[in-house]
Every structure is written in structure tokens, then in C-alpha cells.
Amino acid sequence: MAGPPIASMAEVTDLILAVLRQAWLALAGALVAVAALALLSQTLRAAAGTALAARFWVWQALSGGMAVLILTIFGLLGAPALARAVQGALPASGGCGPVADLGALAAALIAALAVLRLLRATFIAVVWAASGGSAPLSAALLEAAEAVFGMLLAAAASPLAAHFLGAC
């Protein structure tokens, strides 16, 4: 009795990328929901400040609302654009056979994980900004830089190592 057919590397990668796309959609939806609640909270805070003639509350609410809005736009528009730009900038793999495929597929997976990590860090920054704290956006930018470096290593180092070891 034969078992199920073994899937190719590309099929497995497509399946993992589909799961990561669904995770991105869920996280993006949560980000939009939290941002909408934060903007509502800041609007109510500004209205209360206006009613009490507390200009400091009004300005604090306006700056908090703008921070939430800017962070949300950065997360929803910046993360996918960053992944597309880095994927397009990667050089074609110089390897041969499955080593070249492995490098390209690893770079694609690292890009998908990078977008999720960047969106997660942006989500945390929006939650911090919504609560009135300082937003740790530097963590999101560090995670993006780590992802770019990982993608370059995956796309370039695998073929180089294969040539060095004599696999090609």
C-alpha cells in the first residue's frame, strides 16, 4: 500500500506562505480594530478636554490620535511594500538545482516571516500609543533590518556554500 505522495519543496513553501498570509490578514484585522478603538478613545478624550476647557488634554489626545493613525498606516502599507522591495532587490541565485531552489524558497519564507514580525511590532507600538505610552517603533525597524539580512543570507549563502562544498 502506497502512502501519500511526497510534496515538492515549492508546494510545501506555497502551503506555508498561504498560512502566513492568513496570519497576516488576522493580525492586520486586529491592528485595524485596535487602531479604531484607540482613535475613538482619543476622540472622546479630546471631547472631554474641550468640555472642561483643558487645552493640554486636547493637544495630548490629538497627538496620540495622530501617532496611532501614522503607526497603523505604516504597518498596513509599509510592511508589504518593504517585503516586495526586498524580494525584488535580491539577486538571482547563482546555485544549481535544488540548492538554488532552496535559497529562493528560504528567502521567500524569511520575507513572509519578516512582514509578520514587522506587523506584530507595529501592533505593539499602536497599543502602546493608544494607552498613552511611548511607541517602541525602533523594534519594528530593527526586525525589518534583521529580516533583510536573513533574506540576503538565505538567497546568497546557500549557493555559495554549495559551490564551496562541491555540491554543484
CA-to-CA distance for 90 and 80, rounded, in angstroms? 16
The answer to whether 103 touches 13, Cβ cutoff 8 Å, is no
Q: What is the pTM of this model?
A: 0.70
Tens digit of each residue's pLDDT (9 = 90 or more) over 4-61: 665 677 787 788 888 888 988 898 999 999 999 989 988 988 898 888 888 888 888 8
Tens digit of each residue's pLDDT (9 = 90 or more) over 81-115: 777 776 666 555 555 666 667 767 777 777 778 78
Residue 31 in grid coordinates: 491592528
The domain spans of the chain are 26-165
The answer to whether 93 touches 126, Cβ cutoff 8 Å, is no
